[in-house]
């Protein structure tokens, strides 16, 4: 082995490098050289970002997701309350039957 430590890059550096490589008109290998990164490493980062789901795509313009989320939270609260009441009733009637 060469005895060199592998370079560790921050997530911000990786993200900005990928954005630069995508927006640049020059070849990716040249961008990698200018950044001081191996071209294969930059290609790997680009592949990982294209496979990762983007949370920005989830936003909805009409707000229907927000309305659905509010409705589901209310329903969850109601069902949780019903469950708790049933647990208490079960415990009460179990004590009474003994």
Range of the domain at 38: 1-52
Q: What is the DSSP letter of 12?
A: H
Give tens-digit pLDDT for 13-48. Answer: 999 999 999 998 899 999 999 999 999 999 999 998
Query: How is 30-81 classified by DSSP, letter by letter?
Result: HHHHHHT--HHHHHHHHHHHHHSPPGGGG--SS-HHHHHHHHHHHHHHHHHH
| Pair (68, 32) in one structural domain | no
Q: pTM above 0.75?
A: no
| Pair (2, 41) in one structural domain | yes
| Pair (38, 67) in one structural domain | no
Q: Which residue has the higher pLDDT, 61 or 28?
A: 28
| Pair (62, 48) in one structural domain | no
| Pair (62, 27) in one structural domain | no
| Pair (69, 86) in one structural domain | yes
Q: What dihedral angle (degrees, nearest 10) is formed by the CA atoms of 9, 12, 15, 20? A: -90
């Amino acid at each position: 082995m060469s005895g060199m430590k592998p370079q560790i890059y921050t997530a911000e550096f990786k993200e900005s490098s990928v954005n630069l490589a995508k927006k640049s008109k020059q070849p990716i290998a040249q961008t990698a050289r200018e950044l001081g990164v191996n071209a294969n490493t930059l290609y790997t980062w680009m592949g990982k970002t294209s496979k990762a789901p983007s949370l920005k795509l989830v936003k909805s313009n009409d707000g229907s997701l927000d309305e659905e989320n509010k409705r589901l939270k209310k329903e969850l609260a109601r069902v949780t309350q019903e469950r708790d009441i049933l647990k208490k009733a079960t415990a009460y009637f179990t004590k009474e039957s003994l």
